[in-house]
Amino acid sequence: MPFRTTLPLLGFLVALTAFACSTEETSSTSSGVGTCTTNDQCTAGTETCDTTIGKCVAATNGTEIGSGDGSPASVTFTEIYSASKRAELVDLAFAEKDPTQLWVIGYGDNSVHVGTGVTAESNGTWKEYLDPAAGHFMHKPPAFEMGADGFWGICGDNDNSQNDPRREPNYFMGPALFTTDLEVFAKQNPEAGLGLGSHYDMLHNTSMCRGIAHQEANIYWTFNGQLGSIEKNNFNENHGPGFDDHSDGEIYRYVEGQVKGVDGVSSHLFYDSSDSMLYIADTGNQRIAKLDTTTGKLGGRLPLRNEPLKKSGIMEDATIEDVVPAGTLEQPSGIEVKNDLIYVTDTATATFHVFDKTGKEIRKLETGLKAGALSGFTFGSDGKIYFTDRNRGKVLRIDPNAGE
């Protein structure tokens, strides 16, 4: 008799427990703790997506650069890859379609380095590439950015004098489009037969380019170091690898003379879709600025450089303002925005800084590296910062907890 009474009770308790667990899981998922693949699936401002576990976790408040005293010893710098010093590695990004494939560019020799299988547990396997036409399409690249559908944009810090027999500048330079498809990248296309390497598109109104950012589709923003301006470039439909039809391109110039580059230093850009602001490492003016990309009206015509365009023009009265005014940073270079925080590298002081969007400094990290080492950086799927040491030709990762 006791056994018969206990069995139904036990079944009831098991069912009740299962119901409670199911209710708890449903509640957790709805509050943002459930599965995710992007930050958009988490609670804005307070959570971020940890793609290594596929769950929303509490935002870090800039602790990717450590939460200690900000000294080099407060974190561990883990070496991921080493190239020749002459490569002068300046920027890096993980492929859109493969978060374990890390791409790195070399300002010094136009090289591209690709690491496959790069994770928190493995440095991956690496191979160096050189596009056959890199001398035009990515000569002295200061920065690049992954875009949509497996493509990425890059620009060159030059005036194209390297391609003139008399070494005279013609300023026929600007952003180019490439693919992450390693069956195509860095190879000539015999079907095109033009000797133009593997580039998929190019526009030619950004000389002495210092930075580039992706907005959406084939739209990229560039920092024009020659004119001290920002350009919005829309490749629209690419022409395929190695061809040269740029007639559907669009270029719009903003805030001419209001930003300033420094020779040989990257001035990175970041487009934030959450507020339509373009955040600018305005190196020469020693500030972080933001351009409201929803402002400006079409004014005068843009001088063309020997190529037909679908549309172009100079945007007047666009709004640009300080986020971090001059006085805090010496030579801001790399810039990323994550969870409404602005991460910046200062190449003069070899220091990482984190600011909120009002310009208030949240924390900083001295790397102990020499001046000129820091430039671009990126966040891996593990949530950690990967960056280049330009002076030594290395890729490093910040491991915050290991050194604290």
Q: What is the C-alpha separation between 225 and 276, in angstroms, rounded?
A: 23
End-to-end CA distance of the chain: 62
Q: Per-residue confidence at 59, pLDDT binned at 50, 70, 90?
A: low
Q: Which residues have a Cβ under 8 Å from the Cβ of 48 and sit 6 or more positions away?
A: 39, 42, 56, 57, 58, 59, 60, 338, 339, 383
**Mean pLDDT across 332-344:** 98
**Mean pLDDT across 207-227:** 99
Q: Per-residue confidence at 56, pLDDT binned at 50, 70, 90?
A: confident
In this predicted structure, the answer to whether residue 137 has a pLDDT above a threshold of 80 is yes
Q: Per-residue confidence at 44, pLDDT binned at 50, 70, 90?
A: low
**Whole-structure pTM value:** 0.86
- Residue pLDDT, tens place only, 108-118: 999 999 999 99
Q: Per-residue confidence at 240, pLDDT binned at 50, 70, 90?
A: very high
- Residue pLDDT, tens place only, 80-96: 999 999 999 999 999 99
Strand-pairing partners, residue 397, are 78, 386
Of 138, 262, 256, nearest in space to 197 by CA: 138
Per-residue model confidence (pLDDT) at position 92? 99
Candidate from 14-18, 78-82, 196-200, 322-326 with smallest mean pLDDT: 14-18
- Residue pLDDT, tens place only, 124-133: 999 999 999 9
Q: What is the C-alpha separation between 236 and 387, in angstroms, rounded?
A: 31
Per-residue model confidence (pLDDT) at position 140? 99
Half-sphere exposure of residue 246, counting CA atoms within 13 Å on the CB side? Answer: 24
In this predicted structure, the answer to whether residue 204 has a pLDDT above a threshold of 80 is yes
| Domains, the chain | 33-399 (2.120.10.30)
Q: Which amino acid makes up residue 113?
A: H
Kind and range of the H or E element at 288?
strand 287-292
Q: What is the C-alpha separation between 225 and 44, in angstroms, rounded?
A: 35
Strand-pairing partners, residue 143, are 155
Q: Per-residue confidence at 403, pLDDT binned at 50, 70, 90?
A: very low
Q: Which residue has the higher pLDDT, 192 or 13?
A: 192
